[in-house]
Amino acid sequence: MKYCCFLFLAACVVSAAPSVTPAAEQRLRLFHTHTGERLDIVYRIGNTYIPEALDKLDHFLRDHRTGDVHRYDPRLFDLLSDLTKTVGRAGAEINVICGYRSPWSNQFLRDTTTGVAKNSLHMQAEAIDIRLPGTKTSVFRDAALALREGGVGYYPKSDFIHVDVGRIRRW
């Protein structure tokens, strides 16, 4: 009988202990408009980035012209995740127009188009050009501006926004 009481007490103590909430998973779903590839990935659990997931994201965001891969600043992935939450569509599939840009590709774009910066943050793997199908791109831009996590560019003709984790600025 004494033993039973002890067990009962132990059970009470255990259930009264503060419950441990599982660390939140941060997930991204991406579609690359140039390579046609898709990625659905948990890249962070709680405060810990998952190295294998970062490798996959870096490969996914490689320079689609040259195949060069660069280590992305993972804060950019948090920014993408925050953006889908800000427009009320957490986990929605983001279309990627351009991720990492090698110096060769950046020069190629400068030679053939307009509005490409000489020291673009795409070359530091700190920038990405995106749109979110189903959300107006102007609304998506406003969400990015509201987050104040870096630079925001708006390209209405091509229907995408540029976001980066550099200084807060807009164009």
Going by the DSSP 8-state scheme, the letter that residue 80 receives in this structure is H
Nearer to Zn ion, 31 or 155 (CB): 155
Minimum distance between the CB of residue 163 and Zn ion, rounded to whole angstroms?
Answer: 8
**Residue 138-157 contact track with Zn ion, rule CB under 5 A, x = bound:** --------------------
Identify the three-state secondary structure at position 157.
coil
Nearer to Zn ion, 74 or 150 (CB): 150
| Helix %, strand %, coil % of the chain (to 5) | 35, 25, 40
Residues in region 75-134 near Zn ion by CB under 5 A? 129
Going by the DSSP 8-state scheme, the letter that residue 102 receives in this structure is -
Nearest residue to Zn ion by CB is: 162
- In terms of Cα–Cα distance, which of 170, 147, 157, 18 is closest to 79? 147
Minimum distance between the CB of residue 160 and Zn ion, rounded to whole angstroms?
Answer: 8
